[in-house]
Structure 1
Amino acid sequence: MPNSFFRILIASLLCSLGFIAQPAYSQVCSSGTFSSSQYSIAKDSQLVYGQSIGYLGNQDTLALDVYYPTDDTLCLRPLIVLMHGGGFYSGSRQDPGITALCEEFASHGIVAAAIDYRLGFFTEPLPYSCNSKGDNFSYDTHELPRAVFRAIQDARGAIRWLKSQSQTYQIDTSNVFIGGESAGAVAAVHVAYMDKSSERPSSANAQFKAFALDNAGDTICSAPRPNLGSMFGSLNTGAHTSKVRGVVNIYGAIIDTSWIESPMDPGIFQLHIKDDPVISRFCNIPYHGFPSPPANNPIICGAEIIQQRLAHLGMDTLKTETHILQGNLTGPPPNPHSLNGIRPLVVDQVSEFIDGMVCRGCKPPLQAQVQDYWLCPNDTLILAPNESGLKQACTQYRWLKDGQVVGLQKRLRVTHPATEEPNGFYQYVVIQPCGQDTIDAGNVLWRELPTIDHVADTIQAFVGDSVLLTVFTTGDSLDFSWKFQGVEVGDEDSFLISPIQTSDSGAYYVQVSNQCGSTENTYVTLLQVITQSNGIPQPIQSLEIYPVPTEDALTVRWNTQAHQGTMSLTLFGLDGKKIWESEITSGLPIRIPERLEGLFILRIGNQQVEHLQVHPIRTR
């Protein structure tokens, strides 16, 4: 295999792995990519694509040659399969006109393949050996259609074989074209449009044997004419179809234009000489312009009639192009029914046609819905593009994080933990034959496992008081669950107990969770509710202050259920100035160092209780 094969294979692998980065992006198909000669080329010859039974019952080995560019940077290329002319009884893939076309197309960046197909049919009169390939005069009305049918089967087998070699030659299997000149164009047009069982010609069924007779009318030899099988043939069936995107019709024709059924059918490029004597641009038998045309040949319809059918269907003008040239029967080119003098026109116009079909034939991708993606420790997130509306052939991808390239594959794998923080805004660039689009995917945000940093403690509080329980946590988007005696009592980040009741005594726990996980139940505090204990009075529920009549003294008394211990009493004037402070005991008089009369602010309490009250005082 030539060294160029390995260069192509390596380039294909690099493209598929995303290692051809910026150059591939700059060379992605846009209008004009295939319209000029710009590349060096290579050729792989004598590639066998199958074997089939010929018209004489012998096994024909079928081969093709592949021409391809060697220094382009496209990951995928369109393919054109070319079929030579020769009336279905002569010609070869190595015909100079066909090889020249293949070389020119390859220099434009298009993979080109020249194929052989089965030739020959029984003629009239049948020679004594029954083994002639034939000439213009077929044995009966079945023979030429059978020859066309065999060529169609072989071409479809060649297309499937070439699609199976797509990685070797970087072929875009959704952009395969077939074409030919003269007989090859007739077969190519039928490959494109004859695709239903109802369109299969009855001539392809088994026919009576062909006989050769001597001068006396006696049979010398006979040849069977079996059923030819499926119109799709039997070569290389399996993974790939023989469908094509378009057909190039140079001096060709079709048996029935109604087989072109829809604007969605393959596109077609046509070129015909006005006074072609072999195949009419209208409807006529082959060789209609010869002095004695073969009477057994079927009527076929050329470029003018095909174009009328396309216009009737309303096929997109991007998919149709017809050129009718004024030819010269005896003068300089273009000569009727010859590639001489028109090959440069064919190359330029067909390359433009393929360029238009490939590079302007896709739709822009749909915008994805932007969203936030949360990522937990040890998690993996796979970001994938929205593929709705995408032209899959030759589509490449670039993933961006905060504007920087982070991936060249269709899907991006984001992990946490990672060498770089995954946090960021992600976009993907879709690079297609029709251009490229940058689409927002969304933010990737990581979440940490929640933790609680807290040292358990004990809180003492009186009935009627309030206590706010809090803990220090890490993590985001946290959910809290406060529990008391095994029952959830709160779901906020703190828990307020108010007013405290004696039934609130006990241990309090909290659990924190988010999408990444949860903590264990964490012991927060032990709440002790105080109702009465030695040395600690209850909050003051009543206060009595009255003078001692015989001296400058006061008696202060508070609720009798409280501990009758020592409290602190402070007197303030209404201006806030402290006047006097002393330790007191409930019910025992205390001496005031000076005579008092008026309204005063009293503060009475200890470390647990404080009571403020404005009270009139008058001593003696």
Structure 2
Amino acid sequence: MRILSLLLVFFCSSTLQAQERFLDSIFKVTPPKTEVYAVKDGEELILDIYQPENDSENQRPLVVFMHGGGFSGGSPKHPDLVRFSEIAATKGYVVVQIAYRLTRKGESFGCDFEASGKIETFKNAAEDFMDAVSYLVDKKSELRLDPENIIVGGSSAGAEAVLSAVYNPGLMFGDHEAYRNLNFAAVISLAGAILDARLIGEKNTVPGIFFHGTNDNLVPYATAPHHFCEPNLPGYLMLDGSKTIAEKLKDLNSSYMLVSVEGAGHEISGVPFEDLPLLFRFIKKVVLEDQKQQITLTK
């Protein structure tokens, strides 16, 4: 019996040692905590915070994510986003899902909506994103965050806002001073795009993780008009998608992972649960271990 007990202790100890923080599910997750990070246009903008339970680390990487929905719908409480947050938190990340102003609620965001209005929509959402991250960084001691390891991301409209804030800040914000203390270690984009990949330079060369369908008919995979609008329509607006951004990062000798899903459409804006091990491995290598990786995958 004593030998059996010793073997069980040894087995459990070996199993625990084999588990790797940031890759394996080690922790239980605390119930999400909802907080208001801003009030704009009379609306309370909330975020949901997920944390590893009984985690003693004092400098924890932060993952901040914005939902999609065409700037007219969607929620940080979508079941897939809750599931993603819980998966990431079990690995040791603090995860936050953000709500933002849905300025196109009940309105079109297609080819009949003027391009200047689309850009203004991007700006509003990018500002909300930055304000949410600023709020979290101000609480870094309470949440035990590492402000040098902030991974940000979004899906579809949320990805457009986050990518714009990270890679096109000069087009999004008139005054950078309010956000001068924010540094991003990596960005995750699920079917997102930006106005101009040429504006990515040494100061904002942030490693990127991109998932995109090659036949996306709403947000271009490479470079094409938003919603593929004809040039004579009000909503004609050229965007640079995942492939173009990844090529720019490659030219700048920065890390990236581009996962192209051959023949797929905008459904790739959903959380890629089967590829999450790939995503977390890239984050661990590039963000937490400071390795350079340039990965191009086609599915």
Q: TM-score normalised to the size of structure 2?
A: 0.82
Pick closer, same or farther for the CA change 1:321–1:88 going to 2, 3 Å. same
1:483 is aligned to: none
For 2:196, the aligned partner's letter is D
Residue 129 of structure 2 corresponds to residue 155 of structure 1:
yes
Distance 1:114 1:353 in 2: 21
Pick closer, same or farther for the CA change 1:274–1:168 going to 2, 3 Å. same
1:336 is aligned to: 267
2:3 is aligned to: none
Q: Judge conservation of contact 1:277–1:336 (CA < 8 Å) in 2.
A: no
Q: Deviations over 1:568-619 (max 9, x none)?
A: xxxxxxxxxxxxxxxxxxxxxxxxxxxxxxxxxxxxxxxxxxxxxxxxxxxx
For 2:267, the aligned partner's letter is P
2:297 is aligned to: none
Per-residue deviation, 1:300: 0.8
Distance 2:74 2:157 in 1: 10
1:301 is aligned to: 240
Per-residue deviation, 1:242: 2.9
1:314 is aligned to: 253
- The 5 A counterparts of 1:525-544 are none
Q: 2:277 aligns with which of 348, 353, 356?
A: 348
- The 5 A counterparts of 1:192-207 are 192-196=166-170, 199-200=171-172
Per-residue deviation, 1:107: 1.0
**Greater length-normalized contact order (CA 8 Å, ≥ 6 residues apart):** 2
Per-residue deviation, 1:328: 4.8
Q: Deviations over 1:524-543 (max 9, x none)?
A: xxxxxxxxxxxxxxxxxxxx
2:108 is aligned to: 135
Distance 2:242 2:234 in 1: 22
Q: 1:266 aligns with which of 206, 213, 216?
A: 206
Distance 2:117 2:169 in 1: 21
Distance 1:309 1:103 in 2: 32
- The 5 A counterparts of 1:284-433 are 284-288=224-228, 295-315=234-254, 319-328=255-264, 336-339=267-270, 342-345=272-275, 347-361=276-290
Q: Judge conservation of contact 2:22–2:92 (CA < 8 Å) in 1.
A: yes
Distance 1:139 1:268 in 2: 29
Per-residue deviation, 1:78: 0.6
Distance 2:253 2:93 in 1: 28
Per-residue deviation, 1:231: 5.8
SS of match in other structure, 1:35: coil
Q: Judge conservation of contact 1:193–1:259 (CA < 8 Å) in 2.
A: yes
Structure with bigger strand share is 1
For 1:45, the aligned partner's letter is K
Distance 2:277 2:259 in 1: 13
Q: Judge conservation of contact 1:153–1:232 (CA < 8 Å) in 2.
A: no
1:71 is aligned to: 54
Q: Deviations over 1:296-325 (max 9, x none)?
A: 14211111111111121122xxx3111112
For 2:35, the aligned partner's letter is L
Q: Judge conservation of contact 1:141–1:297 (CA < 8 Å) in 2.
A: yes
Pick closer, same or farther for the CA change 1:183–1:72 going to 2, 3 Å. same
Distance 2:80 2:139 in 1: 25
Per-residue deviation, 1:182: 0.5
Per-residue deviation, 1:358: 3.3
Per-residue deviation, 1:115: 0.4
Q: Judge conservation of contact 1:68–1:111 (CA < 8 Å) in 2.
A: yes
Q: Judge conservation of contact 1:282–1:301 (CA < 8 Å) in 2.
A: yes
Q: Judge conservation of contact 2:223–2:241 (CA < 8 Å) in 1.
A: yes
Distance 1:356 1:75 in 2: 20
Per-residue deviation, 1:286: 2.5
2:75 is aligned to: 92
1:45 is aligned to: 33
Distance 1:162 1:361 in 2: 24
Distance 1:70 1:79 in 2: 15
The 10-residue stretch of structure 1 (103-112 or 138-147) with the greater mean CA deviation from structure 2: 138-147
1:249 is aligned to: 189
Per-residue deviation, 1:294: 6.7
Pick closer, same or farther for the CA change 1:232–1:297 going to 2, 3 Å. farther
The 10-residue stretch of structure 1 (110-119 or 258-267) with the greater mean CA deviation from structure 2: 258-267
Count of equivalent residues: 272
Residue 97 of structure 2 corresponds to residue 114 of structure 1:
yes
Per-residue deviation, 1:353: 2.1
- The 5 A counterparts of 1:476-491 are none
Pick closer, same or farther for the CA change 1:323–1:66 going to 2, 3 Å. same
Q: Judge conservation of contact 2:47–2:96 (CA < 8 Å) in 1.
A: yes
Q: Judge conservation of contact 1:32–1:352 (CA < 8 Å) in 2.
A: no
Q: Aligned residues: percent identity?
A: 23
Gaps of 5+ in 1: 1-26, 54-58, 122-131, 201-228, 330-334, 363-620
Q: Deviations over 1:529-573 (max 9, x none)?
A: xxxxxxxxxxxxxxxxxxxxxxxxxxxxxxxxxxxxxxxxxxxxx
For 2:37, the aligned partner's letter is Y
For 2:40, the aligned partner's letter is S
Distance 1:109 1:134 in 2: 39
1:214 is aligned to: none
Distance 2:287 2:107 in 1: 40
Q: TM-score normalised to the size of structure 1?
A: 0.41
SS of match in other structure, 1:62: strand
Distance 2:188 2:175 in 1: 20
Q: Judge conservation of contact 1:33–1:355 (CA < 8 Å) in 2.
A: no
SS of match in other structure, 2:280: helix
Distance 1:184 1:231 in 2: 22
Distance 2:29 2:48 in 1: 13
Distance 1:245 1:294 in 2: 38
Distance 1:302 1:338 in 2: 13
Per-residue deviation, 1:327: 4.7
Q: Work out which of the two has the higher radius of gyration on C-alpha atoms and give 1 or 2.
A: 1
SS of match in other structure, 1:38: coil
Q: Deviations over 1:103-155 (max 9, x none)?
A: 1111111111000111124xxxxxxxxxx641233542211111110001010
Per-residue deviation, 1:352: 1.5
Gaps of 5+ in 2: 1-15, 292-299
SS of match in other structure, 2:235: coil
